[in-house]
Amino acid sequence: MRRTARQLADGREIIYFDSAETAPERTAEDLRELDGAPTAPEMRRDPLTGEWIAMAAHRQSRTYKPPADLCPLCPSEPGKPSEIPEPDYEVAVFENRFPSFARPVADPAESVTGVLDTDPLVRRAPARGRCEVVCFTSEHRSAFAELSPRQARTVVDAWADRTAELAELDGVEQVFCFENRGEEIGVTLHHPHGQIYAYPFVTPRTNQLLRNAEEYRRAHGGHVLGDVLAAERSSGRRVIRESRYWTVFVPPAARWPVELMVVPNRRVPDLPALTDEERDDLAAVYLDTLRRLDRLHDRPLPYIAAWQQAPVRSGRDLSWLHLNLFSVLRSPDKLKYLAGSESGMGVWISDVTPEQVAERLRAVSGTAHPSETG
């Protein structure tokens, strides 16, 4: 893989990932007139839960559902400059123009660390970190599920590259790679893309997983996800696909109408720790999984795909890399809304059993990409 780092007009970094060394050189200049990088947003600590909340008011002005011919993630054309200066690309990653977490601070006076309104209960600090956009393909009307295995592998390598580099930034405690797909999820840019957040803290979900893993190890001596994985592979009732290196299954206590876990068969803390063979296999397994999901209701499935990786400096011996993939679509024309119990109390109520979902997903196939059959 060839990696080329460049700069956009306002100083943000853009990185091109090409699977072949023979790909065109990435030398195009960003000729737009842009303001400088934004001030780091603020974050405040909820004194009741201990969780940090980012306050990114500047995101109100971010791009919202532009027409396809003005998509900021498509390659630039004469008279139509975009966030990608090149006329074509394979995979591109760049710093988000409207980040929830950012490293630069334009005005030192805004770099306030302390308490809110002299209230010692509410701590505040700059939301330092980094947010990146990952463009999976230059084709606007495509989707991750339509990539070839080679293209998907390039995305996997880009995730791993960015995870390793962002983890080296001062103050970053966790790196999160994810994709939101579909307007039902809240997507406002339809070009196939995902995002990467470099957080200045360990996220609440990760803290919960680590606490539970530690309690389980103390009580049983093993890793809770490792034992769940072994049980799922042994039973097979909820398994969608098994390969040499990966297993895809519906969690036995799934919350969402459609929910899957994609888990490596050996414990690794994060994406950079995967071998070449595991990355190749992941590309194939993930494509098969996404194609099955799109055939579940005979329509593109809205989903969130969220990589759970180890924190940078803590809990790495308790972490087991995995992907959570879930959808709000409970039937071809009905959504699951998070109502009182889920939103108010965090107690989930499911309308379908994991076994039913697994059976339906096993019954559909992940039809191959045209380039894989010709």
What per-residue confidence (pLDDT) applies to 268? Answer: 98
Distance CA 359, CA 226 (A): 23
Whether the full predicted model's pTM is greater than 0.85, yes or no, is yes
Asked if pLDDT for residue 110 goes beyond 90, the answer is: no
Closest CA to 336 of 328, 324, 344: 328
Which residues 6+ apart lie within 8 Å of 46 measured at CB?
52, 53
What per-residue confidence (pLDDT) applies to 103? Answer: 81
Q: Which of these is catalytic: 191, 193, 297, 322?
A: 193
What per-residue confidence (pLDDT) applies to 373? Answer: 44
What per-residue confidence (pLDDT) applies to 249? Answer: 98
CB 131 within 8 A of CB 137: no
Instruction: Return the H-helix or E-strand segment holding 335.
Output: strand 334-335
Distance linking the first and last C-alpha atoms of the chain: 24
Closest CA to 197 of 212, 168, 214, 177: 177
Distance CA 231, CA 222 (A): 13
What per-residue confidence (pLDDT) applies to 365? Answer: 80
Distance CA 146, CA 293 (A): 12
What per-residue confidence (pLDDT) applies to 168? Answer: 97
- CA 368 from centroid of its chain's CA atoms: 24
What per-residue confidence (pLDDT) applies to 348? Answer: 94
What per-residue confidence (pLDDT) applies to 370? Answer: 45
What per-residue confidence (pLDDT) applies to 27? Answer: 97
Asked if pLDDT for residue 104 goes beyond 70, the answer is: no
CATH numeric code, 2-201: 3.30.428.10
CB 271 within 8 A of CB 160: yes
Which residues 6+ apart lie within 8 Å of 148 measured at CB?
369, 371, 372
Distance CA 362, CA 250 (A): 11
Q: 306 pairs with which residues across the strands?
A: 178, 324
Q: What is the DSSP letter of 171?
A: T
What per-residue confidence (pLDDT) applies to 374? Answer: 37
Asked if pLDDT for residue 367 goes beyond 80, the answer is: no
**What are the tokens at 277?**
């063979």
Distance CA 212, CA 111 (A): 35
224-235 vs 204-220: helix crossing angle, rounded to 10: 80
All CATH 3.30.428.10 domain ranges of the chain, comma separated, are 2-201, 205-373
What per-residue confidence (pLDDT) applies to 108? Answer: 46
Distance CA 327, CA 182 (A): 10
User: Could you confirm whether 193 is annotated as catalytic?
Assistant: yes
What per-residue confidence (pLDDT) applies to 371? Answer: 47
Asked if pLDDT for residue 83 goes beyond 70, the answer is: yes
Range 160-183 average pLDDT: 97
205-373: CATH topology is HIT family, subunit A (3.30.428)
Q: Where is average pLDDT lowest: 23-37, 225-239, 278-292, 319-333?
A: 23-37
Name the pLDDT band for 218 (thresholds 50, 70, 90).
very high
Distance CA 314, CA 201 (A): 11
Closest CA to 304 of 158, 180, 193: 180
Q: What is the DSSP letter of 301?
A: P
Percent pLDDT > 70 in the chain is 91
Name the pLDDT band for 28 (thresholds 50, 70, 90).
very high
